[in-house]
Structure 1
Amino acid sequence: MNEEELREGLRSEMAGRTPPPPLSTTAALGAARRTQFRRRAVWASLGSAAVVLAVTGFAAVTTPDGLVYEPAGQGPLAPNASGDTKEPWPTGPDGQPQEDRTARAGSKHDQGVHLLSEAVSVIPSGYSAPEDPSSLPAEERTLRTHQAQFEEKVNGIDVWSYSSSVAVAQGKGTGRVIVEVHEAGNPMPTEPCDLAQKFWGMRGECRVETVGAVQVGVVVRPGSDDRLDQWSAYRHPDGVVVFVAQGVRLDESRPALTKLPFSVPQLAALAVDERFHLK
């Protein structure tokens, strides 16, 4: 066979074969979509398997493409509404975890109400304690407020604080008196002035006042943070901490008092008053 006959034979062979179909864009997209769909199905089954694992506690599952999903263990509890803890809030009177730190019903809430009542009762003669309109929602009130708040868990025990704020008026001026109580188990210091400096993170000129047989720390002049003018602090032998504070101004919309309601010795005595010794 010469060279010319070889070329002719190859042409005949190629002519006898069926050519491949032309590339179709539609077909190519369809194939890609089918591949994507299969991948989504794999991950959907993985997600379903993860849910089953969370509910049933199974150790592992194999996905359709051979991957093995194996949880490392029970994950942290979901954070609450404020996002600042991995544990659920304390249980409310309805048997469900609270939505945040504040108790809005139940025995803890009632302690806050009680503290407000006691704070109103110590306002001295010559001053009044105005009230907000009864129709005003609790969250909008400013003249008399109270709160019961979960602080932390110490050695497995919930530690709470209770606070109350009372507007104090005389003439055209309005100031305020605040009482804050922390349950036993709190990690606050015992030394009187160290304790006083823990109130709201404020600092100032502190001196120790003697009330009966005990000593009370009193900040008589605030530092750069002047939200309040004076406050006293006492830690009871059982660990309950009481702060009593006073300020000549309630807010910027009202004129200030011309003088504080309590003298320094009176403010110190209020910190040890059994009316604020919540148990």
Structure 2
Amino acid sequence: MNGEELRDALRTEMASVSPPPPLSTEATLGAARRAHLRRRAVWVSLGSAAVVLAVAGFAAVGPPGGDVYQPAGVGLPGNPDPSTDTKEPWPTGPDGQPQEDRTARAGSQHDRGVHLLNEVVSVVPAGYTAPEDPPDQPADQRMLRTHQAQFEEKVNGVDRWSYLSSVAVAQGGGTGRVIVEVHDAGNQLPTEPCALARGFWGMQGECRVETVGAAQVGVVVRPGSDDRLDQWSAYRHPDGVVVYVAQGVKLDGTRAALDSLPFSVPQLAALAVDDRFHLK
């Protein structure tokens, strides 16, 4: 067979192959959400191809106007390739071997993430439900209740972790989300209440300081151009543990949104101080 015959044969073969189906935006967004939730959480809905690129690249912060989640967390720094992210081995798992990545899938850190999820479910207010994923749903495909324990960094020889739990909340025909993210003491997050709040997931917004007993809590009551979530509170406990509590009227792009947020601003501030989320 000469070159011309080879080209003709290739053209004939290509013509006989059915073109691939168009890309499914929903499938792509779903895969990106699941990848992000395995590493952090929340999360929130993915709304554009640019956002998908950000999440798939483990960047929790999408472009302004994008409706991405998650993210816990946690705020929610990216999860770089393990081969370049650290020169040290990942923390040791309960099997005595280093973890395969940042996420703890067993052991005490993982259990703390499960505990946090249960506590988040416990604060869903009256009038709302917290739907569950099907019992046979693989862990990396769950969207209604998710949790994650993630290694953040080693500070003075001590492993520092963050914990993210996201719970869908439903009322009527709408479904939104409540997210709690907790960072171990010794973290490098800001101290001033509004600086702490505005740093959540790299988002900004209109912040005010709420007083809860003797505590000063930063609350972003209105997001800026990045509207992945609607409101969130932030509090640093005296021992250095940081708690974020966030809420949004939407869960993802496939479900109707809530008519109103589950918590008032004072309630959101009080939750950040709540000892149930003060993981020690």
* TM-score using structure 2 length: 0.71
Does the residue aligned with 2:176 lie in a helix, a strand or coil? strand
Size of the aligned set, in residue pairs, is 201
- Larger RCO (CA within 8 A; separation ≥ 6): 2
Residue 186 of structure 2 corresponds to which residue in structure 1? Answer: 185
1:156-191 CA-partner distances (Å, limit 9, x unpaired)? 111000010000000000000000000001011211
Q: How does 1:69-148 map to 2 (within 5 A)?
A: 81=82, 83-148=84-149
Q: Which portions of structure 1, spanning 4 or more consecutive aligned residues, are displaced by more than 3 angstroms?
A: 79-83
1:113-149 CA-partner distances (Å, limit 9, x unpaired)? 0000000000000000000001000000000000000
Q: Assess if the C-alpha contact under 8 Å between 1:204 and 1:223 holds in 2.
A: yes
Residue 232 of structure 1 corresponds to which residue in structure 2? Answer: 233
Distance 1:199 1:106 in 2: 27
1:58-86 CA-partner distances (Å, limit 9, x unpaired)? xxxxxxxxxxxxxxxxxxxxx97453221
Does the residue aligned with 1:83 lie in a helix, a strand or coil? helix
Letter in 2 for 1:245: A
Letter in 1 for 2:96: G
Q: How does 1:129-208 map to 2 (within 5 A)?
A: 129-208=130-209
Q: Give structure 2 stretches of 5+ with no counterpart.
A: 1-79
Distance 2:147 2:203 in 1: 21
**Structure number with larger C-alpha Rg:** 1
Distance 1:81 1:87 in 2: 10
Letter in 2 for 1:121: S
Does the residue aligned with 2:217 lie in a helix, a strand or coil? strand
Residue 263 of structure 1 corresponds to which residue in structure 2? Answer: 264
Residue 211 of structure 1 corresponds to which residue in structure 2? Answer: 212
Letter in 2 for 1:184: A
Distance 1:198 1:102 in 2: 22
Letter in 1 for 2:118: S
Distance 2:220 2:101 in 1: 31
**Cα RMSD (Å) of the superposition?**
1.1
Q: Give structure 1 stretches of 5+ with no counterpart.
A: 1-78
1:30-72 CA-partner distances (Å, limit 9, x unpaired)? xxxxxxxxxxxxxxxxxxxxxxxxxxxxxxxxxxxxxxxxxxx
